[in-house]
Structure 1
Amino acid sequence: MTRLPASFTSLYRLFLRTTSTSVLHHTLATRNLRHLWRSTFHDAAKVIHHLQREPPPPPAVKEELESWLSIWNDRVDNTLALLHNSSHTRGLSHQLTRNLALLVHHEYRRVSEIKYPAWNPQLPADSKEYQIRVPAKSRTETRRDAMKAISDRALSAVSKAVRMAEGRDGIILGSMAVKGKLKRNM
């Protein structure tokens, strides 16, 4: 596989540094924001590799990919401006980056608290131990579910607002894919 152009890798490094300064080098917030935007850069790297591939893509596909990459570059420039502004002021842009970092953190915690059964090689694959038990719900759990439904509706409103802001201002606010270790029942 060919190497990425130096301009792309330097843009990514600049983005990493700017992300750190936008949250005042707070380690957890920096990690969460980097995680939020990593998939965006991964998609752009795939497009660049596709353009560099031998034999080159057909002219129509090449033009479409170059157009996508041009729009992506403009959006990343606008996002870098937002992060730079966030590092120098304590206004709306700083609140936005702080809240994005908190959203990523709490979404990761919410997903990682789902408990899955641990693998036991002595048991057959269809053992009852691997069935996820659904206990009867108490009153507090019913209330908690109602609050979760309200929270989900609120997050869908936030995601709509994020998509509108990305479209109107030409910035990238990232996307979340939770990876890593999940808690297991032992």
Structure 2
Amino acid sequence: MTRLPASFTSLYRLFLRATSTSVLHHTLATKNLRHLWRSSFHDATKVIHNLQREPPPPPAVKEELESWLSIWNDRVDNTLALLHNSSHTRGLPHQLTRNLAFLVHHEYQRVSEIKYPAWNPQLPADSKEYQIRAPAKPRTETRRDAMKAISDRALSAVSKAVRMAEGRDGIVLGSMTVKGKLKRNV
């Protein structure tokens, strides 16, 4: 596989440093923010590798990939400006990055409560032990279902707000991968 351009790797390193300074070098918040934006950079590396591939892609595909990469570069520049403002002020940009880190952390906690079965080499692949069991319903299941519905509606509203902010301001607010599943826009 070909190496990534030096400009891209320096942009990624700058982005890593900016995420750390935007949350005042708090280790957990830095880790969460880096994980949030990692998939965006992964998508960009796929596009760069497709452009560098031999034989080169057809002109129409190449033009489309270059257009996507140009738009992505502008959005990342705007996101870097947001992270820079977040590191120097304690206003809205700082609150935004801090709250994004909290959202990622709590989503990990929520998803990590799901118990997945461990692989046993003596069992066949379609064994009943590999089926994820539904947890026993508590007595207050109606209350729990109501709380889950409220939580889903709240996350849906946050997701819509994130998409609107990304579209209006031309920034990238990231996406999460939890246990192998991609979740866009927190």
TM-score, normalised via structure 2 length: 0.91
Task: Give me the CA root mean square deviation.
Answer: 4.4
Residues 138, 73 of structure 1: alpha-carbon distance in 2 compared, 3 angstrom cutoff: same
Q: Secondary structure at the match of 1:176?
A: strand
Deviation at 1:131, TM superposition (A): 3.9
Deviation at 1:26, TM superposition (A): 0.2
Deviation at 1:149, TM superposition (A): 1.0
Matched, 1:86 2:107: no
Q: Tell me, in whole angstroms, the C-alpha distance in 2 between the residues paired with 1:138 and 1:13.
A: 47
**Could you tell me the percent identity over the aligned residues?**
93
Deviation at 1:127, TM superposition (A): 4.4
The CA deviation string for residues 111-137 of structure 1, in whole angstroms up to 9 with x for no partner, is 111012233334454544444443552
Q: Tell me, in whole angstroms, the C-alpha distance in 2 between the residues paired with 1:141 and 1:120.
A: 33
Q: Secondary structure at the match of 2:103?
A: helix
**Structure 2 contact 159–185 (Cα < 8 Å) conserved:** no
1:1-186 matches, cutoff 5 A: 1-134=1-134, 136-179=136-179
Residues 56, 92 of structure 1: alpha-carbon distance in 2 compared, 3 angstrom cutoff: same
Q: Tell me, in whole angstroms, the C-alpha distance in 2 between the residues paired with 1:182 and 1:37.
A: 12
**Structure 1 contact 33–100 (Cα < 8 Å) conserved:** yes
Count residues with an aligned counterpart: 186
Q: Tell me, in whole angstroms, the C-alpha distance in 2 between the residues paired with 1:121 and 1:78.
A: 49
Residues 142, 10 of structure 1: alpha-carbon distance in 2 compared, 3 angstrom cutoff: same
Residues 17, 121 of structure 1: alpha-carbon distance in 2 compared, 3 angstrom cutoff: same
**Structure 2 contact 176–183 (Cα < 8 Å) conserved:** no
Q: Secondary structure at the match of 2:181?
A: coil
TM-score, normalised via structure 1 length: 0.91
Q: Tell me, in whole angstroms, the C-alpha distance in 1 between the residues paired with 2:93 and 2:50.
A: 34
Segments of structure 2 that go 5 or more residues without pairing to the other structure are: none
